[in-house]
Amino acid sequence: MARNFKDYIDFWLLLSVLSLTALGLLSIYSATYTAGVGQIFERQLLWVLIGIAAICVSSLISWKLWQLSAYFIYGASIFSLLLVLLFGRTIYGSTSWFVFRGIQIQPSEFAKLATILALSRFLSTPGISVAHPKGFAIALSLVLLPAGLIMLQPDLGTAIVFLGLLLPLLYWVGASGFMIVSILSPVVVVLAALTGPLAFGISIVLILLILFSLRGIRVSSALVFAGSAFAGMFVQSIFNHLAPHQQKRILTFLNPALDPLGAGYNSLQAKIAIGSGSLFGKGFLHGTQTQLRFVPKQWTDFIFCVPGEEFGFIGAIVILILFTILLLRGLSIASASRNPFASLTALGITSILGIHILVNIGMEVGLLPVVGIPLPFLSYGGSFFVSNSIMIGLLLHLYAHRSEY
């Protein structure tokens, strides 16, 4: 049966990406308009052109070639992460970039796709099951290795993205609810312990109830509960022995309002900018928070506050709708792909983009702690934009070949 043009091109996916890119360029232009760094916009415009070319090229590369070379690409990315620790340039306190004649390349951005490919190939291998300790350990190691190297740079935000990739893929291949809870519970309890004794106690009770509802009274449930409780108490004990200024840094990370003129400044100013936009915004290039530069370098991690202020609630909703379309199309491609590797790869790409969107917007509106995570297709950044473009091109290819097995 003859296939129509729409059977080869995911129009809604492509439209959402191009629309977000256009809004990103407008936001970066506005954010740099009075900052005396007009070259930022010009560079981003160049990266956008390179990114569009990357979408076209990667959409033409067979997913079978990606699958065949997955481990090689992963190995090369690990090698690049080691090299950047030894020979990379330190910028803003993080040794994350190679610099060639003024061009900055961030290997960790491309390591995201490499990790997706390697993990997808491993989990789609016949006979592999994450229910067995060996399979689970290897899958976990594939994610923890690049995440650990990125933590050494240090780059907490990017490392969080890698850790957030694991759970959706494990769930997709049939990991039990108990396994998912076992991974999440220590993290939740540790964060709660840093917040305070009350939050720690509530988290322990909730974990206990969830474990009991999943498996009842069993040794495995007891071990997970004990490990989570121990992790929380251990972190709380360490926190109590830290110097006051170190405790303040951690508490400010969890609650920026504790240091409004220091570590919490950007987050609070971003909330003011978004809130002041009201329904229709103040108009393009007329945002006071933006044009008076209350948020330093807001064309990077705090880019969402620019359209939030200048285009208001309506503009913010439009961006959220476009991101929703992007993520829904990614999930649709993952569901429609008949090949397990293709399906997992589509889900991995969607998960990476989703984590960036959730954490970035969440921190800008004050719902999540502030970490250095840019917003896809809106934030300034060459490596970030090109790596995302390659992933979108691969998603478009998977859509066109979703019926192949």
Q: Are residues 79 and 132 in the same domain?
A: yes
* Domain match, 168 and 281 both: no
Shared-domain flag, residues 300 and 393: yes
Using 50, 70 and 90 to split pLDDT, how confident is the model at 396?
Answer: very high
Final residue before a domain boundary, out of 192, 209, 241: 241
Q: Which of 150, 173, 196 is the last residue of a domain?
A: 173
**Amino acid 365: pLDDT:** 87
One domain for residues 148 and 218: no
Question: DSSP letter string over 161-205?
Answer: HHHHHHHHHHHHTT--HHHHHHHHHHHHHHHHHHH-HHHHHHHHH
Check whether 1 has a pLDDT greater than 50. no
Residues 288 and 211 in one domain: no
pLDDT at 133 over 90: no
pLDDT band of 217, cuts 50, 70, 90? low
Pairing mode, if any, of strands 103-105 and 94-100? antiparallel
- DSSP lists the bridge partners of residue 105 as 98
The pLDDT confidence band at residue 363, using thresholds 50, 70 and 90, is confident
Half-sphere exposure of 196 (CA within 13 A, CB side): 4
Residue 366 to residue 382: CA distance in whole angstroms: 27
Sign of CA dihedral 295, 299, 300, 301: positive
What CA–CA distances, in Å, run from 200 to 183, 205, 209, 366?
Answer: 17, 9, 14, 21
Summarize pLDDT for 58-74 with one digit per residue, the tens: 999 999 999 999 999 99
Can you give the residue range of the structural domain that contains 330?
Answer: 1-66+251-405
Note whether 392 and 263 are same-domain residues.
yes
User: Whose CA is closest to 92, among 8, 153, 2?
Assistant: 153
What is the pLDDT averaged over residues 120-134?
90
Same domain, 288 and 389: yes
Top-confidence residue, 19 or 255: 19
Q: Is residue 246 part of a domain?
A: no
Do residues 141 and 265 both lie within one domain? no
> Is 62 in the same domain as 128?
no
Q: Are residues 108 and 157 in the same domain?
A: yes
Domain count, the chain: 3
Asked if 233 and 258 sit in the same domain, the reply is: no
Given this model, what pLDDT does residue 307 score? 94
Question: What is the pLDDT confidence band of residue 231, given thresholds at 50, 70 and 90?
Answer: confident
This prediction has a pTM of 0.91
